[in-house]
């Protein structure tokens, strides 16, 4: 009996290790893509609407240190001998880089993506678009095509896109969910990383609890508060801190698995 128990424990450990070591679906295709990258190493483009253009998102990584909030997950907490603020470029540029603007729809973003990619030559691009497409509680017929073309422009430039689902919109949750179904499908078919921002909001504030906590009083934009504190408690009440944190973790995974792979 003791031998059987030990065998079962061993099997569970092996199964757990295999599950833990399972490579993400995007790893191989994005590794091949990045092998041909010749642009500005470390530059992260920000493509989207007002939820991206605000300095409450991503800009903190130009000066704050997120490493104290990182939990052990098998990856280094920071690049050896460097701080993230010295690795990630363009964090405080926002709208100045031309890739995001208040009120933008997918069509408007598509109109500038090529210019931003060719001028900035980003290594990675964070993309969230669709909130304004869904403001009328429906999804424009050209939304999917616009998003696919935005992603393809990044891929053509050997830039790794990180797609974000959009947050819930007060009174228009169905449109948000429909748009997010498209976003997830595009990410899967394009074999690119996905940050499920919507899903993480719902996990932390289920039902309608997100309204007034992770989403602001206008029902359209994430809440602010302390946007540079990435503790579990704060990630349940600051929508912008949550979005920055999720994208930082996604970027960190891309960094250590593709850009500067860790030897195991």
Asked whether residue 15 is assigned to any structural domain, the reply reads no
Q: How far is CA 206 from the centre of its chain?
A: 20
Burial (0-12, 13-18, 19+ Cβ within 10 Å), 213: middle
Cβ(144)–Cβ(186) below 8 Å: yes
Asked whether residue 2 is assigned to any structural domain, the reply reads no
Asked whether residue 145 is assigned to any structural domain, the reply reads yes
Asked whether residue 229 is assigned to any structural domain, the reply reads yes
Sheet containing 194-195: which strands, arranged edge to edge? Answer: 40-48, 122-128, 160-164, 194-195
Asked whether residue 236 is assigned to any structural domain, the reply reads yes
CATH code where residue 192 lies:
3.40.50.1110
- pLDDT > 70 fraction of the chain, expressed in percent and rounded: 92
DSSP one-letter code for 119: H
Asked whether residue 5 is assigned to any structural domain, the reply reads no
Cα distance between residue 163 and residue 187, in whole Å = 7
pLDDT on residue 1? 47
pLDDT on residue 4? 42
pLDDT on residue 22? 84
Q: What is the pTM of this model?
A: 0.91
Asked whether residue 116 is assigned to any structural domain, the reply reads yes
Q: Strands 160-164 and 122-128, how do they pair?
A: parallel
Domain count, the chain: 1
Q: Which residue segment(s) compose the domain that 186 sits in?
A: 27-259
Stretches where the chain sits below pLDDT 50 are: 1-20
| 89 bridge partner residues | 43
Asked whether residue 12 is assigned to any structural domain, the reply reads no
Long-range Cβ contacts of 14-21 (<8 Å, 24+ apart): 20/74
pLDDT on residue 15? 42
Q: Closest Cα to residue 135, out of 165, 103, 180, 172?
A: 172
pLDDT on residue 264? 62
């Amino acid at each position: 009996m003791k031998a059987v128990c030990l065998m079962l424990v061993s099997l569970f450990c092996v199964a757990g290790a295999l599950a833990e070591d399972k490579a993400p679906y995007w790893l191989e295709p994005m590794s091949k893509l990045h092998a041909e990258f010749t642009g500005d190493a470390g530059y992260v483009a920000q493509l989207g609407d007002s939820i991206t253009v605000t300095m409450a998102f991503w800009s903190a990584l130009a000066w704050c240190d997120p490493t104290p909030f990182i939990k052990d997950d098998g990856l280094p907490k920071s690049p050896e001998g460097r701080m993230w603020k010295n690795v990630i470029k363009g964090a405080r540029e926002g709208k100045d880089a031309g890739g995001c603007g208040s009120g933008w729809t997918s069509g408007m973003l598509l109109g500038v993506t090529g210019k931003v990619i060719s001028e900035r030559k980003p290594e990675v691009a964070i993309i969230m678009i669709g909130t304004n497409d869904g403001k009328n509680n429906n999804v424009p017929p050209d939304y999917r095509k616009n998003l696919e073309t935005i992603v393809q422009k990044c891929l053509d430039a050997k830039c790794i896109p990180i797609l974000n689902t959009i947050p819930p919109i007060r009174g228009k949750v169905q449109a948000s969910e429909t748009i997010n179904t498209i976003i997830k499908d595009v990410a899967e078919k394009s074999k690119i990383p996905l940050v499920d921002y919507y899903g993480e909001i719902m996990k932390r504030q289920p039902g309608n609890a997100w309204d007034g906590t992770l989403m602001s009083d206008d029902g359209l934009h994430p809440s602010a508060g302390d946007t540079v504190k990435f503790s579990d408690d704060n990630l349940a009440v600051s929508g912008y801190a949550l979005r920055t944190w999720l994208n930082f973790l996604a970027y960190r995974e891309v960094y250590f698995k593709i850009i500067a792979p860790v030897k195991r």
